[in-house]
Structure formats: structure tokens, C-alpha cells
Amino acid sequence: MNVAVPRRIKLFVWGGVASFVLAVVAVAVTLILNARQVALADSASGANRFVSSAESALNRSLLAVDVLLASMDEMLELSGARPEWLDPEVASQRLRSSARQNLMVRYVALLDTQGRVFASSDAAGASLSVSLPAGFAASVFEQPVSMLMVSAPAVSFVSAERVLYLARQMRLVDGTQMLAVAEVPVTALAGVLTQGMDIAGLQVTLERAAGQALLTMPRQEDALARSLAPPLADLDVLGPAWQARARLSGELALVVYRPLMYQDLRIAASVPRDDALAAWRSTRDGIMLTTLGFVVMMVLVGAVSMRYLDRMTQARLAIAHSKATLDEALESMVSGFVLLDSQMRLVQWNRRFEEIYPWLKGQLAAQVPFRDLLMEKARHHLDNASADEQLRWVEHRVAVQRNPQGPHEQGLPDGRVIQVTERATPDAGLVITYHDVTELRRASAEIENLAFYDPLTGLPNRRLLMDRIQQTVAASARSGLHGALLFLDLDHFKTLNDTLGHEVGDVLLRQVAQRLKACVRTEDTVARLGGDEFVIMLKNLATSSEEAASLARRVGEKILRRLNMPYALGAHTYHSTPSIGATLIGPDMQPPTDLLKQADIAMYQVKSQGRNSLCFFDPQMQIAINQRVQLENDLQLAITGSQFELHYQPQQRLDGRIVGVEGLIRWRHPERGLVAPGQFIAVAEESELIVPIGHWVLRTACEQLAAWKGDARYQHVQVSVNVSARQFRQRDFVARVVEVLRETGAHAHLLKLELTESLVLDDVDDTIAKMVQLKTKGVRFSVDDFGTGYSSLAYLTRLPLDQLKIDQSFVRNLGARQTDDVIVQTIIGMARNLELDVIAEGVETAEQRNTLARYGCHYFQGYLLGRPMPVHELEALLARDPTAAGLEA
């Protein structure tokens, strides 16, 4: 039956539509005006933030250059020196090292009062030509105290780009004035300003108080040649905001400026008013269109409302009937049910929910925040937890409810398991169901345990073991990593069962299982096949089969030692021994059954040889393992028995002068004679013996440097030593190097540590931190075998390096393989750009040396110049070399 809508309701509806239309128009006008003010305010705020940020950035940049120039006095000891005491080459080297720390500075130089360059960080050194703006040097010398001065923009003679010169005056002990100058490209300062420069139409100027422009953004060359008017100081009296003129374009604009900490420099930002209001115009048009849409929509809403009111009365009766039906269905559910509104307040629940959580009955009421119920559940579920822990649990549950991820389970204190399912409703509310799955989970766990685990020891059974072996074989084929299977059988276990009974035998098996699990990693598997047979599967040991076998042998020996310890079997103390057969799991996709058979065969070989031992299935592998073990034992004796020697290979310049040597270890074996490093270094690294060996090399090299310190023939010779990755990654590596230098008395600047590319890039932040610490002590660094790894130029520029070492594989193929020539030229060019020395190793022919010299390499090492030799032969060589004495390293 249809019921007509009363006339008063119709008047109310249309009156409401008219009122809303008027309100929308009023709001639209207000929004447009407010948006205009906000746009201007945002632009002004952005300009102020930019100027503040730019001021700080420029002050930091100028201060960094000022500190660099001021530190030249202490670095070159100018205040205590006379002109004739200063060595231009040494001073240039120190300036070059210092200038690398500041990326903005093109170079720093020391000039006399005549403008001549005394020393420079540029590769040209004292021969560098510096053309300062007219009168700039005189203005710096006229200052009563030393302070940083900034020149007018100038064009660099070398790069033809615009630069600024920053200078300080220096005085020598005899009163001689010197000028410390730094050349800073304008583009470098522009790079500082462009950070955060995201304001529409922003114009930036760096100018003096009188208006002389030093830098403009956007770049305008004509502005640099004139003074901007009016001076910035006059802007405060020219009128309100947005009435000034932009410094570059002259438009009506907001101009914000701040003084810098040096001289009379100002940083100014101009925001033209038209640019500031560009976005507002789009907003204004959008508001007007939206307002029109709202007006049309409200008229339509009024029409639709009339139709809706006609049908609402009939719908009420249908809704009431549906609600009654739904309430009846919810009460008959076997699962608990909760309905929450969009504010996460309780709307409806059923009787089953009260049965699952009986302690919540007193809290259940309409519109109660569900968070309060969660707090009550936390106090009941986590009664032993602190208030903070309970609160964190509630916060986690609230966060999960905002983004339901599917069913999850909760364990109740009485042992029940409740599956909770949360689903969002169309009105942003939440429907939560609670289903008791306790019996289902118990049954599943029991079925899984019976199917895959041994009931006596709790270890995986044969079925689960075969599945894991299959997965490991597939993973090994993908990764190339070897694993291993150890097949273990207890010796004379049948005798124990026959004499003391199966119950005692079961106790022994459980204790063996516990000891085996304690001997392996969590990712490895210990399984029981049945009886007294166990299998241990070791995953991801090594890519090399020999190394994997060595690691598997160590685990096997650990198991042998652990299982040989006595067992307490009730009132009996029992000694048991195992026989272990081993085989490798390689990338060749062998079936799990074949692998088990191989390990089983190896185990029976142990049984036939007397038990209580370990044997590999491959006899040749066993021989290799035995040899490796013997080599490790011999290395241990070599460390304690002083069997190592340090030989030295000369490093020369192009003119034949010896500038340094590389210390190379040799092993004087009592039976094998002199052993080359290639035969034992790999084993030393894998067994961690490389750390004490590397420390011995470092100490021996420093002791030799200390011994040469008093002899003019050798006191300037530099010694390079290789540092292994294990040694470098030791936490106390820096402290040990410093301790060796202190104890031996060696000069740190004559010690050079050679690092490989892989070591450097393994953990760049840790590498940089350690290198910087040692760099402050004077230690130098070289990248060994450069070009053979995967170098990152970005990381290379961050490392405080002194030298790159071209690998001998590239030197060997010079002239024979064009790509190697290109690589060598690239390395040399990159080193020159980074201001690093470059040395080529493995130089064996004069043709190779000449080719390298033609490409720009001036340091060489190899058999052409000299083989590694004992120290007495090296000293004899240096004594015969008239150019060796007095050299700088």
C-alpha cells in the first residue's frame, strides 16, 4: 500500500535544497579568497625556507673552504718557516691530499705577493697558472687580519668556466706574506642552491650588499656584469610584501634575503606574484565548476528524495522482517559472531561468542568500543605479561583489523585454538567470526608427526629425509653449492640390546639423537632410518667439492668426539662408538637413494677397517682430504716454528729509480724446501690461519722499515703488504696495525696496505671507516689486482686510496689482445682523474714497460725489474743503485 508524502515534508525538502545551494555558493567564494591567500602564504613560506636552507648550505660550503685554507698554515707549517725552507713538491703533495676532502674546490694554491704559484693541489703543481681578478690579491693582503675574501666572478684560464676565488693571507716566520687561494666553480655553488629549489618561478641571486651579482639562478650572464638595483637593504622600506620587484625579471614579486657569514654577501630569493598564483587560478576554476555541479546535483537530489520518501515506508516493513530472520540465523551459528561499525564499536554478537569468551559477558553492550574488549582479552590471555606488553598486543590486533589479511588462529589459556576470520563490511565496519578448531589441529599435528617423524627420538624419519634430500639436490643444482650425507651406525648396538634390554637401548638412541642435533646447524637435518642407523644431511657447504668435503669431515670428527663420550643409561655408564660413511651432494642431480647407498657403502668400509672412524665414498677425495689435513697441521707448525720468510720485489719508476718494494711471504718447509704462496694461502684462508700469518707479515714488514730508518740508503723505501679479507674484517684490525707501528717504531707513511677489489666492496661503510682511521695515522692504501673484479666508481671515489695496481693478466696481454690495451688505458685515465698513482705488476718485457709508459703509467713491478728476493739481496741492490738513496716514497 502506497502512502503519500505530506506537503510539509515536501516544503522541508525543497527549502533544504535552496539553503544548501546558498551555503555552497558562500563557501565557494570563501574558499576562492582563502585559496588565494594560502597560495601567496605558501610561496612566501617556501621562499623563506629556501633562503634559510640556502643560507645554511652556503655558509657550510664557504666555511669548509675557509677551514681548508686556514689549515694550510698548520699543514705546511708556514708560521714557523721561511720561504727557502719550503719544498714546492712536498707542499703540492700535501695540498693535493687535503683538497681531495672538499668536492667543491677545483684546486687550492699558495701564491706569493707577486701572484706566482708556489704550490698547488692541481696535478700541474707549481707550474699552474692562476689569474685572479684585478685587485683581488691586493685587497686580501690589505686586510689587517687574516680572513676569508671572495672575489668577483671570473673565467677560469684552464676550464673556461665561471669561477669564484676564495683567499686568505698567510705569514711566514720572517713576515713574508703568502696568499692561500681556492678556485670554486660557480656551478658547484649552484649545485648547493638547487637542492630543494622546487618553487614555481623562483629566482635566486648571490650578491654583495651594494648589489653586485656573483651568482644567479636561472643563470643570467648579463646580471653578473652589473649591480642589481635597488640594493637588498633598501627593500625593507619599499612597501608591503608582493610589492617589490624580482631581482632578475623585474616583475612584481616577494623578495626574501639573508646575509651570509662572510664579508657582505647576501642570498636573495624572488617569487613573482603571477607564478605564485598560477596554481590558485586552476583551483579557482575548479571550485567554480564544482559549485555549479553541487547546485545541479542538489536539484536532482531534491527530486530523487521525493521518490525515495515514497518508497521508504514500504522498505521499513521489509527491513524489520529481514532483521528478525537474520537474528534467528545468527543465534543458530556454531561459530562465534561479532559485528562492528565503522568506528569499531560493538553492534551485534551471538550466544556462541559468549560461550567461547565467557569472561567478556560483563563487557558486552551495544556501542562498546571493541578496543575495550581486546584489552580485557589481553588481561586474560596474557596474565603474566606486563601492562606495556598487553597494550602492544592490543595495538597489533587493532592494526591488523584495519587491513584484514585472512584467517588467523589464537590460542586460549585453557588450550583451545580459535580460528578468527575478519572481513570488512560495505560501510567500513567489520564482521568477525570465531571458530573452535582445537580438535582439528590436534588431529592434524598427530597425523603429521606419525607420517614424518620417528616416534622414539622425534627426529625426521626416512620419508621426510628423502624429501629433504631431494630438495637439497635441486637447490644444489641451482646454486652450485655442495652438501654432504653422513650415514651413521652405532657399533655393537645389538650387544647392548641383548645384554641390557631394548628399553636401555631406546634410552641410548634418544641420547644419541640429542647429541647429533647439537653437532649441526639448524638448517641441517638429523634423521633416524630405524634401529641404530642415523643420517645427517649438511646443506650449502661450499662451491668447491674439496672444501665441502673438508667441512663435512670436520662435522664428522665433531660427531665422533661427541658420541665417544660416556652415556648415563640409568644405573649403567656405557661407552659407544659410531661408524660414519660420508658422500657429497653435488649439482649433478643424483637420486636420493643413490646418495644414501654411497654413504652406506662408505660406512661399511669403516666397519671393515675397525669402526669408530669416518670414511668418504670417493677414495680419491679421501686422499685429498688427508693431504689437506696434513697441510693445515704443517701450517700450524710453521707459525709456531718460525718457518716463514718475507721476500721483497722492487717497484721502480720509469727512470729506473726504486721507490718501494712489495713484501711477499715464502714458506721454508723442513722437507719440501721453499714453498710458494700459491700452494698454501688458499688453505690458510679456509682454516682461518690467514689471520696470524697476515699479522706476521705486517709485523715483519714494519720491523724491516724500522731497521732501515737510520740508514740513508733505505730510509725512504716504501713497503707494501697484502691484507686478506679475513684479516681486514677482524674487529681489532685497526688497533693491531697501530700497535705494530708503535711497537716497531716504523714510519706509517712508508707502509702501504694492498686490498683487493672484492674486499673493498664487500662492506663499503666498514671499509671506509677502517681506512680513514688508518689514514689519519699516515698509512697508505692500494687496490691490488685492479680491473679483475666488479669495481664501482661511486664507491671508488669515496675510498681514501693512494694507488691502483693494474693486474698482471692485463699486462701480459698488452699488444696481443686489444681489449686488454683498452682496459689498461681506462684504468690509467681513471686514476689520473682521481689523482691516484697507478702501478703495473707482472712487467716481464721491455716492450710491456714501454707500452705502459706510452699509456701514462710511470711505476712498474715484475721480473723485468727484479724477482722477489731476501732482504740482504734487496739491500745489496739498493746499495748499488745510486738513485735509490734520498728518494721520497
* CA–CA separation, 423 and 339 (whole Å): 10
CB 14 within 8 A of CB 302: yes
CB atoms within 10 A of CB 495: 10
315-350 pLDDT tens trace: 666 565 665 555 555 555 667 767 788 777 877 777
Q: What is the reported pLDDT for 514?
A: 94
Instruction: Report d(CA 804, CA 801) in Å as an integer.
Output: 8
Q: Say if residues 331 and 30 touch (Cβ distance below 8 Å).
A: no
Cell of 593: 637413494
Q: Reduced to 3 states, what is the DSSP secondary structure of residue 429?
A: coil
Percent of residues in the chain assigned helix, strand, coil, to nearest 5? 50, 20, 30
Torsion angle (degrees, nearest 10) of CA 91, 97, 99, 103: 170
- The set of cell numbers assigned to 874 is 734487496
Share of the chain above pLDDT 90, in %: 24
Return the closest-CA partner of residue 600 out of 608, 550, 483: 608
Pairing of strands 803-806, 780-786: parallel
- Strands, E, within 172-281: which ranges? 177-185, 203-208, 213-217, 244-245, 252-259, 265-272
pLDDT at 197 over 70: no
Q: What is the mean pLDDT of residues 860-865?
A: 91
Cα separation of 577 and 570, whole Å? Answer: 19
Pairing of strands 859-861, 578-585: unpaired
Q: Any residues with CB less than 8 A from the CB of 498 and at least 6 apart, and which?
A: none
Q: pLDDT tens for residues 678-693?
A: 888 888 887 788 999 9
Cβ atoms of 25 and 180 closer than 8 Å: no
Q: Where do the structural domains in the chain lie, given as residue ranges?
A: 13-294, 333-442, 453-609, 633-880
pLDDT at 886: 38
420 three-class SS: strand
Task: Record the cell numbers describing residue 538, joined without a space.
Answer: 649438511
Helices (H) and strands (E) in the chain, counts: 28, 32
User: With respect to CATH, is domain 13-294 assigned 3.30.450.20?
Assistant: yes
pLDDT above 70 for 223: no
pLDDT for 517 equals: 93
Please measure the distance between the N-terminal and C-terminal CA atoms of the chain and give it in whole angstroms: 109
Among 234-238, 253-257, 754-758, 782-786, which stretch is predicted with the lowest mean pLDDT? 234-238
CB hemisphere CA count around 725 (13 angstroms)? 12
H helices of 228-350, in order, are 273-276, 278-331
d(CA 862, CA 698): 22
The neighbouring-strand residues paired with 662 are 649, 720
pLDDT of residue 196: 61
Higher local confidence (pLDDT), 53 or 560: 560
- Name the nearest CA neighbour of 375 among 353, 358, 391, 364: 391
The per-residue pLDDT for 579 is: 93
- The answer to whether 13-294 and 333-442 have equal CATH topology is yes
Handedness of CA 46, 50, 56, 59 (dihedral sign): negative
The band of 888, judged by pLDDT with boundaries at 50, 70 and 90, is very low
Pairing outcome for strands 213-217 and 244-245: unpaired
CATH number of 333-442: 3.30.450.20
pLDDT value at residue 749: 93
Cα distances from 177 to residues 123, 174, 249, 868, in angstroms, run 24, 9, 44, 50
* pLDDT at res. 885: 40
C-alpha 415: how far from chain center: 45
Stated as kind and residue range, the H or E segment containing 698 is: helix 690-708
Mean pLDDT of the chain: 83
Question: Which of 683, 469, 507 has its CA nearest to residue 589?
Answer: 469
State which amino acid sits at residue 428: A
Residue type, 864: L
Annotate 732-793 with DSSP letters as a single string.
Answer: THHHHHHHHHHHHT--GGGEEEEEEHHHHHHSHHHHHHHHHHHHHHT-EEEEEEETSS---H
- Packing angle between helix 545-563 and helix 619-640, nearest 10 degrees? 80
- Per-residue pLDDT, averaged over 538-560, amounts to 91
Q: Contact, 731 vs 762, CB < 8 A?
A: no
Q: What is the pLDDT of residue 237?
A: 45
pLDDT at 157 (0 to 100): 73
The architecture in CATH of the region 453-609 reads 2-Layer Sandwich (3.30)
* Residues with Cβ within 8 Å of residue 554, at least 6 apart in sequence: none
Residue 519: which pLDDT band, with cuts at 50, 70 and 90?
very high
**Does residue 625 register a pLDDT over 70?**
no
pLDDT at 240 over 70: no
| Rg of the chain in Å (alpha carbons) | 41
Identify the band that residue 774 occupies on the pLDDT scale cut at 50, 70 and 90.
very high
pLDDT, tens digit (0-9, with 9 covering 90-100), for 25-37: 888 888 888 888 8
User: What pLDDT digit, counting tens, does each position of 56-100 carry?
Assistant: 888 888 888 888 888 888 888 888 888 787 888 888 888 888 888
| 3-state class (DSSP) for residue 460 | strand
Q: With pLDDT > 70 as the criterion, what percentage of the chain qualifies?
A: 90
| pLDDT at residue 837 greater than cutoff 80 | yes
Identify whether the C-beta of residue 436 lies closer than 8 Å to the C-beta of residue 418.
yes
- Can you tell me the distance from the alpha carbon of 744 to that of 752, in angstroms, rounded to the nearest whole number? 16
Between CA 61 and CA 55 the distance in angstroms is: 10
Compare 45 and 418 and report the one with higher pLDDT: 45
Per-residue pLDDT of 267-289, as tens digits, reads 888 888 888 888 888 888 888 89
> In the prediction, which pLDDT does 320 show?
55
Cα angle: 846, vertex 851, 857; to 5 degrees: 105
Closest alpha carbon to 464 in 420, 398, 527: 527
Where b means 16+ CB within 10 Å and e means fewer, 726-754 reads bbbeeeebbebbbebbeebebbbebbbbb
Among 485, 505, 509, smallest CA distance to 581 is for: 485
**Under a CB-based contact definition with an 8 Å cutoff, are residues 363 and 373 in contact?**
yes
Mean pLDDT of 573-577: 91
pTM over 0.85: no
- pLDDT, position 42: 83
pLDDT band at 753 (very low <50, low <70, confident <90, very high): very high
Instruction: Categorise residue 415: left if φ over 0, alpha if ψ from -120 to 50, beta otherwise.
Output: left
- Among residues 526, 393, 533, the alpha carbon closest in space to that of 460 is found at 526
Check if the beta carbon of residue 165 is closer than 8 Å to that of residue 117: no
Q: Would you say 599 and 607 are in contact if contact means Cβ atoms under 8 Å apart?
A: no
What's the Cα-to-Cα distance from 458 to each of 283, 357, 475, 526, rounded to whole Å? 71, 35, 26, 10
The pLDDT of 796-808, averaged and rounded, is 87
CATH top class, domain 633-880: alpha beta
CB 449 within 8 A of CB 456: no
Count Cβ atoms within 10 A of the Cβ of residue 272 and give its class: 0-12 exposed, 13-18 middle, 19 or more buried. Answer: buried
Other Cβ atoms within 10 Å of 41 Cβ, number: 12
- The pLDDT-based confidence of 743 (bands split at 50, 70, 90) is very high
